[in-house]
Each structure stands twice: as structure tokens, then as C-alpha cells.
Amino acid sequence: MLAGALLSCLLAAPGAGLDLELRTEGRQRTVAPVGADPQRAWELEVAPLGRLRLTGRELDLTASYAPRFTLSERPGERTSLLHRAALLGGWRPSPPSRLTLGLEGAEGTVSLLQLLAAAPRPGQPPAPAEPVPTISAIRYRSGTATLGLSSSASARLRLRGSVAGFVEGGATLEARRSLPQQRGGRVEAGLEWDATRRDVLATALTATLSDLRPGSTARYGVLAESWRHALTAHTRAWVTAGASLASQEAASAAARTPWRLRPAGELGVAHELTREPERLRATAAIAQTPVLDRSTGVVVDRTTASATLSAVMARDWLLDATGSGGVVVGGPEARDSIWVGELRGGRRLGDPFELSLGVRGLSQRQPRLDARAYEWAVFAAVLVRHRERP
């Protein structure tokens, strides 16, 4: 009763909003080692989501909780529960500046294939291809804290920076054999300058230090320059070019790698058109960046391609399509790949309800392990949104 009264007071405040979502998904996973019988498992997942938004004149706060309950026919543990929570706060001490603090955490049991090959967010590439030779579930724990600052030095010049600390990996000794625990930090800095009304020049620097216990440390970073150009009033393109630097230390001299310099970059295009009630947004991009293979602790170069399409065809009909893929291009993991596609259709059932149905497919290959993994899924989601008051 007290919680309900408190929630009612929060939603009555100016700038308050609440999102509630229930997603149910059924899927089949197949892992097919060469020369062995494929392993298959059906899973049923229920994933509710609650997100509370509070917005004030100088402060804003977003809190979310998204547990995930899975019932599986895989050998061993039949049920699993993963708790996920996030908190993001923002403070605007002056109009051109914003300071943010974000906290994220997850703990519970999760499928190893689902963890390493999760469907990406729209417009984002998937996780790097990683060895998943068997269908299994592990105890998992992760936490991230991020402090960020963005500011406008002038009408045409913007600055941003952030520092983050993280811990992630198996929560037990047995789980760490499949997913080693890593601790580390990440620093990001960037500068954007509006060269003309249609052109933006930017510089970005990222650096990551990751300690994978026991006895392995990876360091990698990227320095890149980018140019964004408005081709038309509704279409923009961008090109990024730079270099990445990476090295790894390990207890074994054979596992150590010296500093190595590699090219990094991205090429993309986006189109957005709004003619109420119709809206259309489409993106396509290809990029090469260094990533850390979480299961082996090796920094690899990966080429990714992604495409998204989001459309509101009428006042009440929605359509989303996402495709992403990545291929490792260097080192022992060369030719490891993962491809993900998702199609979702939805309809607004009247404020504040929205219903969506979709399908997702995934293909993952690890030639060095002579293993392939496939997944297909169907899902349904109901969204209830309490819109922010003006």
C-alpha cells in the first residue's frame, strides 16, 4: 500500500513517466559440433520490464528493473532467473552542461549462448563471435558505474567525456571456466565542431583496461576522426577513420602479445522522414574496431555490418526490422562470425497499450572449434506507457 501511494505521488509530479512491458519468447537453440550429434534445446522466457522516469528543471532520473525467467529443456538446471537493474541520474548545473551518473548490474543464471550472442539493440552490432561449443547455463554477475560530462563550449563546439569501472563474468569457479571474470575501466573523450550547417567534424578517443583473472591483462584503445554530412534534409552520411592500439599480458610468455597498431573506421548512412502520422527511419553501416573476446581474453579485430528499419505506417501500426553481423578478421579467432536478424510488427491498442509480435534468427560459427550455433525465436510483447505530463 505504501509503495502504491509513493508511486502515485511520483507519477503525479511534473515530468513523470512510467513504462511497463511484458515480453514472452519461445526459442529453439542448436549447437552442431563437426563430427558429433547436434545439441538442441527449447526455451520459454518471460521478461517483464518496469521503467520510471522523473524529469525536473535541473535534475532527471531513470530507474529500471528487468528480470528474466527462463524455462528450458536443456540438461541440468531447468529454470533460471536473471535480475537486471539500472539507474541513471542527470544534473544540469547550467544550460550548456550536463553531468550524469549511471549504475547497471545483473546477477543470476543465464544461458551462455544467450549471453554471448544476444540480439542487439536497434542500430547496434552484436557481441563479437565467441566460442560456445555447448548448450549450458552459468551463474553470472556484472556491474558497471559510469560518470559522464557533456558541455557546449560555444554554439558550434561541444565536448564530452566519461569514465567507467566494470566487473563481469562467471559468479562461481565453475562458471569462470566458461566465462572468466574481468575487472577494468574505460575512458572516453570526444569533441564535435559544426564546421558548416551541413557538416560536423569530430574527434573521439576511447581506452580500455581489462584484467581477466587469473594473470591476464588486455589494453586497447581507438583514436578516430569523423565527418558527418547532411546529404539532404532527411538523409545524412558519416565516415570515420583512425587507428587502434592493443596489447596483452599473461602469465605465460606464449600468450603475451606486444603492442600492435591496426586501422579502425566506420562508414554509414541514415535516412529519417516524418509525415504525421507516418514516420520512417533507416540506417546502414559497416565498421572495423578492436573488441575483447570475453571467453578467451584476447583482443581481436572485428568487421561488423548493421542495418535497421523502423516505420510507423499509420497512426496505430508499427514495423521494426534489424540486422547485424560481425566477422573476426585477425588472430586465431579469424573467421569467427555471428549474424542476427529480427522483425517486429506492432499495433497501438489505444492509449496507453501497445502489442507487438516478432521473430528472430541467429547464426554463429567458430571454424577453429569446428562448431556452429543456430537460434530462432518467436516473441510477443505488451507495453503499457504512462506518458510524461507537460
229-259 tens-digit pLDDT = 999 999 999 999 999 999 888 656 555 678 8
CA distance linking residue 294 with residue 169, whole number of Å: 8
253-263 tens-digit pLDDT = 555 678 889 99
Band (143; pLDDT cuts 50, 70, 90):
very high
CA distance linking residue 342 with residue 356, whole number of Å: 13
Mean pLDDT value across residues 20-34? 82
Taking the model in full, what pTM does it have? 0.79
pLDDT at 276: 73
pLDDT at 291: 82
Ranges 170-179, 211-220, 307-316, 365-374: which has the least confidence: 365-374
**How many other C-beta atoms lie within 10 A of the C-beta of residue 214?**
10
Confidence check: pLDDT of 211 > 80: yes
| Per-residue H/E/C for 48-80 | EEEEEEEECCCEEEEEEECCEEEEECCCCCCEE
DSSP SS3 for 235: strand
Q: For the chain, what percent of residues have pLDDT higher than 70?
A: 81
CA distance linking residue 122 with residue 137, whole number of Å: 26
Ranges 35-39, 330-334, 386-390: which has the least confidence: 386-390
Confidence check: pLDDT of 369 > 70: no
